Amino acid sequence: MRRRVVVTGIGCVTPMGADVETMWRRLLAGESGVGYISIFDASGFPTKIAAEVRGWDISQAGENPEDWKYQGRHTRFAVGAAKQAMADSGLDLQRLAPTRLGVYTGCGEGQQDFNRFTEMMVAALDGHKDKLDLTKFIHKGLETLHPIAELEQEPHMPAGHLAALFNAQGPNVNCLTACAASSQAIGEAVEIIRRGEADVMLSGGAHTMIHPFGVTGFNLLTAISTRNDEPTRASRPFDRDRDGFVLGEGASMLILESLDGAQARGAKIYGEIVGYGSTADAFRITDTHPEGRGAIACMKMAVDDAGLKPDDVDYINAHGTSTTVNDKVETLAIKRVFGERAYKIPVSSTKSMMGHLIAAAGATELIVCLLAIRDNVVPPTTNYENPDPECDLDYVPNVAREHRCDVALSNSFGFGGQNISLLARRFSG
């Protein structure tokens, strides 16, 4: 018999706030974390806007910034979110065998040192505009790049740091499946506890792609909005005039725990993770399947895994990126899974306010689902102004809504065709 898994701690560092309650308050108020890029000079880029984490550094997590100066921005976000989640859980790590505590993250690559790469390139060109001296490029790199800083760009580094921080000697894994990464990490962490291979898992995601290479790549893919004159109105999921997503950054972490362990120590419980679906489109790397076959199968799998029926779902936090194809196909997939009841389920995209946190998006949105269950209120999809005939569901336009929410579904779909759905339920014994 598989063990039940509950959430006993949550934490986040996001463009909408560097703690859970601030983020939640701002989401319900329909505020925006999108603005002009300040991390680097984006004046020459087609896209000049993003949802940055502003006014936060790792000292606010009780850490000495000097000790983390070579670690990636994603790692620092992960530490901040994880320390919040661990404190929130009330776990006494002295009473937990280290091998029964694991870490499963969905973290992307760190932020490249673009300024040093530029310095290397200038030295290698040596006054020539059309010929790169590769030897000079390599030697300049050996002179200027710091070995630890280069290592810390790797996507699995946050998981290693979190294990050391909490003496977590159990399973330690990082999943990198693009926008589905942290949702998949949570789903797999749930399975580890269900199988009895760990009692507690710290799981979630961290990422930033707000750097020149990231923005350039998404501009080449024509995936991100160029509505530079209206930053706060640029992310508009399901709206007829959407033109791409807005890059965000940050981290969200959850403490997943076996129900028997949580009850034995009298822990507060945010909710139970009852369903996990994971599928692939097996189609194109950058395009979702036009009939939504992977998304449909994924949502059905999560509902079946929970032992529930589609009619039991009260709220859907959509992947809802604000891209033309994704929003249309996700709408179609929801209708195929839920039938006529799809029109009665509130569906919202919090990416409309905080942008797309890429690998960290799914964990953040699962926290939103847990808070919707806790407070019986669902956040809005902001900037929804002009209905799209192909997107005709109830997207909770612009204003949060009181709504009884016992079961919430979180969707995450990533480049490469990965699809993850997580189902959270109110805990009732």
* Residue 377 structure tokens: 């209120």
In sequence order, what are the beta bridge partners of 11? 253
* 128 part of the active site: no
Query: Residues 289, 319, 391, 405: which is the catalytic one?
Result: 319
Of 74, 207, 211, 356, catalytic: 356
**Helix, strand, or coil (residue 229):** coil
Task: Select from 380, 271, 223 the least CA-distant residue to 317.
Answer: 380
Residues paired with residue 49 on neighbouring β-strands, in sequence order? 36
Q: How is residue 100 written in tokens?
A: 């029964």
Q: In the annotation, is 356 catalytic?
A: yes
Strands 418-425 and 271-280: antiparallel
Residue 252 pairs in a beta bridge with 12, 205
Burial (CB count within 10 angstroms: exposed 0-12, middle 13-18, buried 19+), residue 376: middle
- Which residue from 103, 49, 59 is spatially nearest to 255, judged by alpha carbons? 103
Six-digit token pair at 86? 């661990």
Both tokens assigned to 235: 């992310």
- Considering the candidates 107, 175, 179, 298, report the single residue annotated as catalytic: 179
* DSSP label at residue 398: S
Alpha-carbon Rg for the chain in angstroms: 21
Please indicate whether residue 298 is annotated as part of the active site: no
- In the block, tokens 């991390």 appear at 39
Active site residues: 179, 319, 356
